[in-house]
A and B are shown apart, each in its own frame.
Chain A
Amino acid sequence: MTARLVAAAFAALFAFAAPAHARDELHLYNWNNYIAPETVKRFESVCQCDVVQTYYSDNEELLAKLAAGATGYDVLVPTSNAVQALIRGGQLKPLDKTAIPNIRNIDPAYLNTPFDPGNQYSVPYAMSTTILGYNDVKMKELGLPTDTWAVIFEPKYLEKVKGRVTVLDSANELFAAALKYLGYSANDVDPKHWDAAAAVIRKAKPYWAAFNASSYIKELTVGNIWLVHGYSNDIFQANQDAQAAGRPFHILQGVPKEGAVLAVDNMVIHKNAPRPDLALKFINFMLDGRNSAELTNLIGSGNPNMDAMKYIKPALLELPAVFPPPALKAKLEQLKDLTIAQRRLRNKLWTEIKASK
């Protein structure tokens, strides 16, 4: 009897798990809220298929799952350094460029990077920059600059905003900002320069309210925090929420003149994709300016698609992080993966920073 019960339970589960699907399916493994719902609907009607999305919240999650052998995904949207790791792991299928003519819409500045020379496997999807976010009323009141990393590192500025500043709880992001502030590349690996960066961070730490990577959006919106080192998409989100809640201030994006970190997410096809044909169709579809613009209009993401500009809401076009102006574009850097020895050194410095008073 028990055996029959167990069998019945599984039969029911299979029946639930496999409803009769007459339509084709494209499996998209994506970040949450990283494609506009109307874009999905339009693609579904164009390709006569269903888009089935699964989400990850971290590149490492994606890498771990694929490294263990998970399959069934057609298109993935990893960040550049993760693309490089996937290429090295032999996880990706080369792109058939003849099937994606819309690649010509992408700004050449974002193509042919060291992460995927010649874009054999990947095309840029959307991006974000790590910059300053600030409360316009408070910063004006205090007369602080918002175009330099000095404002989060120099005690002479920090004195005025003590306890009202947060920085990202990420060794790589914070070191990159400090290295940029000192005039080095964000990818500089000279240990002496790292020591100098660590010293800058340690000196500024007593003035910061917290290392914060998640709730700073909320804190900015409510007005508890006036200045952050954060992601451009989050800062955009904070301002939208602040306006929706009718606050008497704006949350603006401040681009440091020393340059900043750029994170580009790219569309790639998994080597075992069940439907590489649909995957290519999807990639070409997303490279269309209108479809690409819908994501930017939704979350304020940076857009590498030149054709998207005419579809983007005017208010968003003014944001430096959406279409970085040429002067800024030249100073944006994508972070490269560290070697194991370098990572160990950075972790050591980071632990010392976290433990210091």
Chain B
Amino acid sequence: MRRRSPWLWAAAIVAYAFLYVPLLIVVVYSFNDSRLNAEWVGFTLDWYRTLAHDEQMLRAAGNSLVIGIVASGVSTVLGTMAGLAMHRYRLRLLPILIFAPIAIPEILTGVSLLIFFVLLNFTLGLVSVALAHIAFCIGFVAIVVRARLAGMDETLTEAARDCGASPANAFRYVTLPLIMPGVIAGALMAFTLSIDDFVITFFTAGAGTVTLPLAIYSMIKIAVTPEVNAVSTLLMLLTLLLIIAAARLSPSLFRSQGDH
């Protein structure tokens, strides 16, 4: 291994500190024994206890999770199909249709979806939020999957077909395993986008539908208590577990290209 310059190390440390220190502060202050959270007072688990009894906050977290799982699941399936179609066929319209929702400002998407749901007389609630999230997540999944397909050796699928595999089997046993890291990365991305979306959720959520970002945002006017830190810490833990699970399922996901 070559020796790396100390400057490179310094730059790396500063960059990682910038990424992770704020998160660490959130975690540390979730154990702070002060409602205000302005300074460190002492260690306590009270905020986790408060959280365990706060039905509204728990329901909001539950809603966010359910919406996140459904939205990432459905948009991964649809996004993967879109990615495949764009890779295989020279389509003009499809890429525009798929990628436009990514470029459109969120506030426009939110308002137009709300108007659309109202026109259809569709009751606003968890389902409308999930549909909206699926709509904006598909494009992100499709991009990741298509990028993965671009790096795939096309002859492998052809070889499978030559050996007598049906198109479905060739996809299932050859193409899908090869693009799996892309699919999982897309799913994770969709989950993250869904779970922290505020603007689109605000407009498409109905009376009584509260997600975590909506609940936290509405607390900004009154002081935000460490309970929010506690719930954020738990969410971070969950995300971490998801990433570890994904890495286990598909070890190549987190390996750089050179290692293949």
Given A2-B77, A16-B66, A68-B118, A57:B207 Cβ within 8 A = no
Number of A-B contacts (CB under 8 A): 113
Question: Do A31 and B218 touch (CB < 8 A)?
Answer: yes
B203 at the interface (CB under 8 A from A): yes
> How many whole Å from B194's CB to the nearest CB in chain A?
13
B6 CB within 8 Å of chain A? no
CB distance from B183 to the nearest CB of A (A): 13
CA distance A340 to B224 in the complex (A): 34
* CB–CB B202/A65 < 8 A: yes
Q: Identify which of B19-27, B31-39, B88-96, B145-153 touches chain A.
A: B31-39
CB-based contact B221/A69 at 8 Å: no
Q: Known contacts A13-B70, A214-B220, A218-B223: does B114 contact A65 (CB below 8 Å)?
A: yes
Instruction: Give chain B nearest CB distance to A232 CB in angstroms.
Output: 14
A1-45, CB under 8 A of B: which get 1 and which 0? 010011001101110111000000101010111000000000000
Most buried by B among A29, A32, A56, A222: A32
Q: Which residue of B lies closest to A69 (CB)?
A: B118
Interface string of B165-204 (1 = CB under 8 A from A): 0000000000000000000000000000000000000110
Question: Which residues of chain B come closer than 8 Å to A101, judged between CB atoms?
Answer: none
A72/B123 in contact, CB under 8 A: yes
* CA gap between A217 and B70 in the complex, in Å: 40
**Nearest B-chain residue to A16, judged by Cβ:** B66
> Cβ of A6 and Cβ of B74 under 8 Å apart?
yes
Q: Does B85 contact A (CB under 8 A)?
A: no
Within the complex, what minimum Cβ distance (angstroms) separates B17 from chain A? 24
> Given A9-B70, A55-B210, A55-B215, does the pair A68, B127 have CB atoms closer than 8 Å?
no
> Which residues of B55-114 have CB atoms within 8 Å of chain A's CB atoms?
56, 66, 70, 73-74, 77-78, 81, 111, 114
Instruction: Establish whether residues B130 and A68, one from each chain, have CB atoms under 8 Å apart when the complex forms.
Output: no
Q: Which single member of A54, A57, A72, A222 contacts B220 (CB below 8 Å)?
A: A57
Whether the pair B35, A54 counts as a contact (CB closer than 8 A) is no
**Is B205 interfacial (CB 8 A cutoff)?**
yes
Tell me if A345 counts as interface (CB < 8 A to partner B): no
Tally B residues with Cβ within 8 Å of A: 43
Flag if A56 contacts B218 (CB, 8 Å).
yes
B215 pairs with A72, CB closer than 8 A = no
A72–B124 touching, CB < 8 Å: yes
CA distance A228 to B163 in the complex (A): 79
Is A136 on the interface with B (CB-CB < 8 A)? Answer: no
B205 contacts A54, CB within 8 Å? yes
Determine, out of A82-90, A193-201, A237-245, A329-337, the stretch whose residues face the partner at the interface.
A237-245
Cβ-based interface call for B126 (8 A): yes
Q: By the criterion CB–CB under 8 Å, are B223 and A217 in contact?
A: yes
Interface presence of B217 (CB below 8 A): yes
Complexed CA–CA distance, A82 and B81 (Å): 47
Using A5-B77, A218-B38 as known contacts, say yes or no to A55 and B218 having CB atoms under 8 A apart.
yes
Q: How large is the interface on A (under 10, 10 to 19, 20 to 34, 35 or more residues)?
A: 35 or more
Are A72 and B222 within 8 A (Cβ)? no
Q: Is the CB of B36 within 8 A of A245?
A: yes
What 0/1 pattern do residues 213 to 246 of B give for CB contact below 8 A with A? 0110111111100000000000000000000000
Contact of B202 among A61, A221, A222 (CB under 8 A): A61
Chain B's closest residue to A242 (CB) is: B36
Known contacts: A13-B70, A13-B126, A70-B206. The answer to whether A244 contacts B221 by CB under 8 A is: no
Q: How distant is A325 from chain B, measured CB to nearest CB, in Å?
A: 27
Q: How far is the CA of A123 from the CA of B29 in the complex (A)?
A: 41
Q: Is A68 in contact with B126, judged by CB distance below 8 angstroms? A: no
- Asked whether any CB of chain B lies closer than 8 Å to the CB of A53, the reply is yes
A52 touches B (CB below 8 Å): yes
> Taking the complex as formed, is B208 at the interface, i.e. its CB lies under 8 A from any CB of chain A?
yes
**Chain A contacts of B124 at CB under 8 A?**
70-72
Question: Would you call A73 an interface residue if the criterion is a C-beta within 8 Å of the partner chain's C-beta atoms?
Answer: yes
With A2-B81, A9-B74, A70-B124: A237-B223 Cβ-Cβ less than 8 Å: yes
Interface residues of B in 1-49 (CB under 8 A from A): 34-39, 41
Known: A13-B70, A69-B119; 15 extra A-B contacts, CB below 8 A, are: A5-B73, A12-B70, A13-B126, A13-B127, A16-B126, A25-B208, A31-B218, A32-B222, A53-B208, A54-B214, A70-B203, A71-B124, A73-B207, A218-B223, A241-B36
Give 9 nearest A-B pairs by CB, closest first: A72-B207, A55-B218, A69-B118, A52-B208, A17-B126, A27-B207, A32-B218, A68-B114, A218-B38
